[in-house]
Amino acid sequence: MFSFLKPKIATTKIASDQVQKTYRLFRLQSLLGVFFGYIAYYIVRNNFALSTPYLKEQLNLSATEVGLLSSSMLIAYGISKGLMSSIADKANPKRYMALGLLLCAMVNIMMGFSTAFWMFAVLVVLNGFFQGMGVGPSFITIANWFPRKERGTVGAIWNISHNIGGGIVAPIVGVSFAMLGSNHWQAANYQVPAAIAIVIAMVILTLIKGSPVSEGLPPLSEIIKDEPDSKMQQRADSKPPVDMNAWQIFRNYVLFNKNAWFVSLVDVFVYMVRFGIISWLPIYLLNVKHFTKEEMSVAFLFFEWAAIPSTLLAGYLSDKLFKGHRMPPAIIAMTLIFICIIGYWQSTSLHWVTIFAAIIGCLIYIPQFLASVQTMEVVPPFAVGSAVGLRGFMSYILGASLGTTLFGVMVDKVGWNGGFYVLLAATVCCIICCILTHRGAKEFNKKQVLQS
């Protein structure tokens, strides 16, 4: 680990009469830092998809070559999410996240000067790899600054950065084209988003704080006044029994932790359904349901943006109504998704197909983000990055690839019905894994209380 990435050590203590005020300020700053930071990661990731028509036209790349570039980024990101999130456990989260964003920006700047397929291939893989440095510090920061009873709401707020980041890329690129002209398509697609990412990297360095202790505050268990949560947090504030490296933390607290695997499998099946729907929605609606391109675009928009209010509501309910239990609302969401997949598949009405697509989009991000929150609650905080890494690796390498590839294979072999059978089976498997995760999380929390 480079010295500048090592966790900060407090040199002074915050005065006792300033602890609560400073804690509230620092945790708000940290949440804003990871929120805007992850939006920026999306800006320098999803901009590549917008550039693909120009890659085909201006650089004479074939559809196969463009497809290989896109899949290379996905695979590199999945691998990196596992590796780089584990390394994040031993790093200063704000510097680690900012460094990853700066590296993504540098790669995008170089894309603006690239003219050959092999150059793009190398740069796309590097971008996917550096993208993996964003999610680990985000969850570590949330786990450091927010107690279990608030993580559903806070996790939901952070999670909508996905939707905002994914949705804001097109306007940014569009304005860039309006200002620079189509002759400067590389600058508009790559270098302007990179410039925005560099600015936000500086914001990350300003806002995010390491942990209460590293900032001169008492441990979170001493700041929290709620007695049951404080006891659990006191156990969570503990450090590894020895000076472990990243591999030892992963092996001891994640690899042989059944709950970490259960919650990772939840994400695998959620990603199968999510990518199975979103990847094939345009073709399915145009060719099977005979939508126009405009009608298909409306359905696509509803699928993506409907998730924002539902995610915030589900996070709040998991904190307040379900008392910190994350999987019950995830089970409810997946059950409703099962019904809506059947409606989306069988309905012949344009309006009902659009409604079912919107409801699936509204619900599919709920179990995804609740699995993220649950990950923070089945391992100690010093192993959060490793657990997030396992879940991220499996969700992309298995879930996303199966949702796109296996669905396509089934469509080719037995028709569209086969693809939807895959999605329904994935939904059932997800519900089973949610139940196992819920039972495992309750056992883990009970042990934390007993050991406090």
Q: Are residues 209 and 258 in the same domain?
A: no
What is the widest separation between alpha-carbon atoms in the chain?
69
Residue 391 has pLDDT above 90, yes or no: no
Q: Are residues 167 and 253 in the same domain?
A: no
Q: Please check whether residue 238 lies inside any domain of the structure.
A: no
Residue 244: inside a domain: no
Would you say residue 103 has pLDDT above 80? yes
Q: Looking at the structure, do residues 263 and 211 belong to the same domain, yes or no?
A: no
CB 140 within 8 Å of CB 88: yes
Asked if residue 426 is part of any domain, the answer here is: yes
In a domain, 178, yes or no: yes
Which pLDDT value is given to residue 24? 93
CA–CA dist 306, 35 (Å, integer): 19
**pLDDT tier at 444, thresholds 50, 70, 90:** confident
Q: What is the mean pLDDT of residues 103-117?
A: 91
Mean pLDDT of 26-49: 93
- The predicted pLDDT at position 227 comes to 44
Say if residue 304 is in the same domain as residue 433: yes
- Taking only the tens place, the pLDDT of each residue in 278-301 is 767 767 777 788 777 677 666 766
Q: Does one domain contain both 264 and 204? A: no
CATH assignment at residue 115: 1.20.1250.20
* DSSP summary character for residue 188: I
In a domain? residue 207 = yes
Query: Can you give the residue range of the structural domain that contains 131?
Result: 14-216
Kindly state whether residues 262 and 205 are assigned to the same domain. no
| CB-count burial class (<10 Å; 0-12, 13-18, 19+) for 238 | middle
Same domain flag for 336 and 289 = yes
Structure tokens at 45: 């990731």
Within-domain flag for 392: yes
Does residue 241 form part of some domain?
no
Average pLDDT for 53-68: 76
What is the rounded (10 degree) CA torsion for 433, 434, 437, 438? -150
pLDDT given for residue 238 in this prediction: 53
Under the banding of pLDDT at 50, 70 and 90, the label for residue 82 is confident
Mean pLDDT value across the chain: 84
Whether the Cβ atoms of residue 329 and residue 314 lie closer than 8 Å to each other: yes
141 and 285 belong to one structural domain: no
**Are residue 306 and residue 429 in the same domain, yes or no?**
yes
**Domains held by the chain: number:** 2
| pLDDT band with cut points at 50, 70 and 90 for residue 442 | confident
Give the least confident one: 152-166, 197-211, 230-244: 230-244
Q: Would you say residue 222 lies in a domain?
A: no
| Same-domain status, 343 and 389 | yes
Comparing 190-199, 239-248, 340-349, which segment has the lowest mean pLDDT?
A: 239-248
Percent residues over pLDDT 70 in the chain? 91
- Predicted structure pTM score: 0.77
pLDDT tops 50 at residue 230: no
Torsional sign, CA 389, 394, 395, 396 = positive
**C-beta of residue 161 within 8 angstroms of C-beta of residue 79:** no
